[in-house]
Amino acid sequence: MPEVSAIVVGAGIVGLSVAYGALRNGVSVMIVDRNPEGDKASFGNAGGIAVTEVVPASVPGLWKKVPFWMLDPLGPLALRMAHTPRLLPWLWNFARVGTASEVRRISTALADINGRVYDDLLPLFNEVGLAGDLLQKGALTVYESENGLRNDMHDWDAKRDLGVEVQELTAAEIREMEPALSPIVKNGVFTPQWSHIKDPKRVVDVLRHWLVANGAEIVRGEVDRVVPTSDGAKVVLDGGREMTARKIVIAAGAWSGRLAKQMGDRVLVESERGYTTTIASPGVALEREVIFADRKFVATPLSIGLRIGGAAEFGGLEVAPNYARSKALVKLAKHYFPDIREEGGVEWSGHRPTTPDSLPVIGRSGPSSNIIYAFGHGHLGLTQGPTTGKIVSDLLLGRKPLIDIAPFSVARFSLKKASFYDSPDLFLR
């Protein structure tokens, strides 16, 4: 059984960033993934470096909007009914953290990790050859009515309090920045700290090749389980192959919960499936990412075309994607870009690993300090990946991370409070 210093389970942007951080600190690294070069959420995302996203998804009053979103079969939120019983513990905890005090606590933790993003992302991009792929042009969030912006002002004020620069714009100012937008846009907000990249797939491809060129080993295989040993841990693949290491990092995205559960850690992470359509020749031009607040989708100008993305669909890891959602996003985009050409659109769907409190899981496993978690980043895997890699490298080397990682601990799912984690049938009584 070959032995290496660290095995990273998962070759998405978070796993690769963890491997980069470890390798840069002198730790020999093996990366294990069932399809290391294959399609992942790291490929098809909207490409945003969303450092301004410091407010969690669950906020006071959200549940008033959810029924209206779900009435539309191709709207921004969907729940596959067969998955509902398994999702109930996640939903209950999602509702539980939607209080003013919890939102403040979670927002502070998100601001802490997002505040380090450029400190960790820029050196990584510069070293591996991606310096020209980051476009620091900010982002526009646009609204169709005066009320839309007014209703969101509490969230914008909360972001201001946490260091986010927020510039309110009129319709004329928005169209001066993005002339392709139609008159349906009435006002909006510019957040200059936001960035986007040219192509998410290129980022993971370049980073993966750099890791291999600098000594990392990549193994293709399905991880069956992770098992603590007396002086480390081992990964067992389907078929029985075993690999041992002093430390193992589980960074397998939405699949990480299964491995953590085998370890004995309670964890709530769900697949929040997202959809995109990328149009190589859309006939409209944007300078920066545009977020359509009323209809819950985004459009990003990538080097490979205009990517239109959105939707939050909860249906588990096994159900087939519904690409009608990708088509619906393009129809929504036509409201804002009347001249857009739909021909040649490439549809995609992927699993975002999402926790009920919008915080990633970063830190040591409860049963074994030799197993470290790095998953559950939701919409912010690309944004927080390099910083997660820096945090994990500190943990691998026994150093204190530069930010407080207690809010990201897996132990938060095992707090001795009233919970439906183990008894989802309570909902059905």
Residue 97 to residue 103: CA distance in whole angstroms = 7
Look at residue 67 and tell me whether its pLDDT is greater than 90.
no
Q: Are 223 and 32 in contact (CB under 8 A)?
A: yes
Q: Give the pLDDT of residue 415.
A: 67
The string over 41-64, giving b where at least 16 C-beta atoms fall within 10 Å of a residue's C-beta and e elsewhere, is: bbbbbbbbbbbbbbbbbbbeeeee
Residue 287 to residue 177: CA distance in whole angstroms = 8
Look at residue 54 and tell me whether its pLDDT is greater than 90.
yes
| pLDDT 10s digits, 372-401 | 999 999 999 999 999 999 999 999 999 999
Answer yes or no: is 302 within a domain.
yes
Answer yes or no: is 426 within a domain.
no
119 phi, psi to nearest 5 deg:
-60, -30
Look at residue 45 and tell me whether its pLDDT is greater than 90.
yes
Predicted TM-score of the model (pTM): 0.94
Q: Give the pLDDT of residue 78.
A: 83
Q: Give the pLDDT of residue 21.
A: 97
Task: Give the sign of the dihedral formed by CA 318, CA 342, CA 139, CA 210.
Answer: positive
Task: Give the sign of the dihedral formed by CA 10, CA 14, CA 17, CA 19.
Answer: negative
pLDDT band at 298 (very low <50, low <70, confident <90, very high): very high
Residue 254 to residue 350: CA distance in whole angstroms = 10
Please count the helices (runs of H) and the strands (runs of E) in the chain.
Answer: 13, 20
Q: Give the pLDDT of residue 68.
A: 63
| pLDDT 10s digits, 349-379 | 999 999 999 999 999 999 999 999 999 999 9
pLDDT band at 64 (very low <50, low <70, confident <90, very high): low
Answer yes or no: is 177 within a domain.
yes
| pLDDT 10s digits, 205-227 | 999 999 999 999 999 999 999 99
| pLDDT 10s digits, 162-209 | 999 999 999 999 999 999 999 999 999 999 999 999 999 999 999 999
Answer yes or no: is 46 within a domain.
yes
Which uninterrupted H or E stretch holds 161? helix 153-161
Q: Give the pLDDT of residue 419.
A: 45
Q: Give the pLDDT of residue 171.
A: 96
What percent of the chain stands above pLDDT 70?
93
Which uninterrupted H or E stretch holds 98? none
For residues 310-337, give the mean pLDDT. Answer: 93
| pLDDT 10s digits, 121-171 | 999 999 999 999 999 999 999 999 989 999 999 999 999 999 999 999 999
Look at residue 65 and tell me whether its pLDDT is greater than 90.
no
**What CATH number does residue 305 fall under?**
3.50.50.60
Q: Percentage helix, strand, coil, to 5, in the chain?
A: 40, 25, 35
Answer yes or no: is 160 within a domain.
yes
Q: Give the pLDDT of residue 38.
A: 87
What type of residue sits at position 196?
H
Distances (CA, A) of 322 to 79, 311, 319, 327, 356: 12, 11, 9, 10, 23
Look at residue 113 and tell me whether its pLDDT is greater than 70.
yes
What torsion do the CA atoms of 316, 319, 321, 325 make, to the nearest 10 degrees?
-60
pLDDT band at 69 (very low <50, low <70, confident <90, very high): low
For residues 279-284, give the mean pLDDT. Answer: 97
Full residue range of the structural domain in which residue 67 is found: 3-420
| pLDDT 10s digits, 329-347 | 999 999 999 999 999 999 9
Residue 279 to residue 330: CA distance in whole angstroms = 9
Residue 389 to residue 251: CA distance in whole angstroms = 10
pLDDT band at 268 (very low <50, low <70, confident <90, very high): very high
Answer yes or no: is 428 within a domain.
no
Answer yes or no: is 234 within a domain.
yes
**Mean residue pLDDT across the chain:** 92
* Residue carrying structure tokens 């985009």: 333
The string over 97-110, giving b where at least 16 C-beta atoms fall within 10 Å of a residue's C-beta and e elsewhere, is: bbeeebbebbbebb
Q: Which of 348, 347, 353, 266 is nearest to 316 (CA)?
A: 353
- How many domains are there within the chain? 1
